[in-house]
Amino acid sequence: MFTRSAVRALTSQSRLFSTTVARQTKVAVLGAGGGIGQPLSLLLKSDPLVTSLSLYDIRGAPGVAADVSHVDSASEVTGYAADKLDEALEGVQVVVIPAGVPRKPGMTRDDLFNTNASIVRDLASAIGRVSPTAHILVISNPVNSTVPIVASTLAKAGVYNPSRVFGVTTLDVVRAARFTAGIAGVHPNDASITVVGGHSGATIVPLLSQSKYGQGIKGEVYDKLVHRIQFGGDEVVKAKDGAGSATLSMAYAGAKFTHALLRGLNGEKGVITPTFVQSPLYKDQGIDFFSSNVELGVNGVEKIYPLGPLSAEEEKLMEACLPELKKNIEKGKAFVESS
């Protein structure tokens, strides 16, 4: 007999991972020793679509790997110390990057730029050299700038393929579903919300009008919900009181997005989720990267969906989003140009 908590764990695992037949997929986590990296590594170890897991960090990855490797799923786990980045990247199809510093109370994601820009640039440069065809999933903030940094670094090396670089905005989608479901009194699975734009404050635009349970939310409740989706990360930063930002919910979101990509890479059709990618949607306004619904397939990005009809409130949110997003993207590109 399963205990009640075992049943709960199994139920939540089957919600996170569908059990499609696995092909050989080697996934690397860069920053595996951190607050996100550790639980993310554990969740990826439980993903049946991951057959080999390569854990790298400038500190602590071999320990995390030894620990996680005892979990009784089929995948092999190897940990790599600071001087073993190239070995960690050998033969990987998917690289997830949660390396870098997190926020402290009072900081915006952009305040992390100075430290994280060079970390992400150097990791992207190693990926371009060792595993240039890998799909790269960027978690390190500020995502609005770190994704352009990865793209520009790979372009400089002559190996950039826009179908293979993703900013992970899944936590915004997860929060939107959870918070909306709480207001509507339904299960979060029934309250999925498309979140578009970027991944920081005003650049996060939830399209509540397109959701059955979101469209009825109006007035002050609507304003508060939008604010909570946009600034939900601050609640965690404040509650952790100097000990970092979201790690557990982010690990869940990172594993969820990785699993969606692996389903697409395995040939499953109709895997659609928002992610921050090189996008034609606002290119005429000088915005090269944007998050909207993307179909994931054997080549990574298969199809980028337009936003669809927006309410008057959402048009206003987009007006606030676009100029800030443009600035963030340009900052990332300029950093690589001047490197």
Residue nearest ligand NAI by beta-carbon distance: 34
- Angle ∠(63,69,73) on CA atoms, nearest 5: 160
Task: Indicate the DSSP class of residue 299.
Answer: T
Of 254-313, binders to ligand NAI (CB under 6 A) are: none
- Binding characters for ligand NAI, 132-151, by CB under 6 A (x = yes): -------xxx-x--------
Does 230 contact ligand NAI by CB under 6 A? no
Which residues, in sequence order, are CB contacts of 206 under 8 Å at separation 6+? 172, 176, 193, 194, 195, 214, 225, 226, 229, 230
Question: How many CA atoms, within 13 angstroms, populate the side-chain half-sphere of residue 309?
Answer: 5
Does 238 contact ligand NAI by CB under 6 A? no
Q: Is 284 annotated as a binding residue?
A: no
- Binding characters for ligand NAI, 58-87, by CB under 6 A (x = yes): xx----------------------------
Does 41 contact ligand NAI by CB under 6 A? no
Residue from 26, 28, 31, 126 that binds ligand NAI (CB under 6 A)? 31
Nearest in space to 28 (alpha carbons), one of 55, 47, 3, 61: 55
Residue from 50, 94, 119, 217 that binds ligand NAI (CB under 6 A)? 119
What is the C-alpha separation between 172 and 198, in angstroms, rounded? Answer: 10
Taking the CB of residue 48, how many other CB atoms lie within 10 A of it?
A: 17
What is the C-alpha separation between 193 and 206, in angstroms, rounded? Answer: 7
Q: Shortest gap between Cβ of 218 and ligand NAI (angstroms)?
A: 28
Nearest in space to 137 (alpha carbons), one of 234, 40, 235, 245: 40
> Is 199 a catalytic site residue?
yes
Q: Is 139 annotated as a binding residue?
A: yes
First and final CA of the chain: distance in angstroms? 59
Q: Is 121 annotated as a binding residue?
A: no
Task: Indicate the DSSP class of residue 218.
Answer: -
Which of these ranges, 72-80, 96-104, 295-303, 310-318, lies near ligand NAI under the rule CB under 6 A?
96-104
Q: Shortest gap between Cβ of 166 and ligand NAI (angstroms)?
A: 11
Q: Is 60 annotated as a binding residue?
A: no
Does 98 contact ligand NAI by CB under 6 A? yes
| Catalytic positions | 199
Q: Given the rule CB under 6 A, which residues bind ligand NAI? A: 30-31, 33-37, 57-59, 98-103, 112, 116, 119, 123, 139-141, 143, 168, 171, 199, 244-247, 250
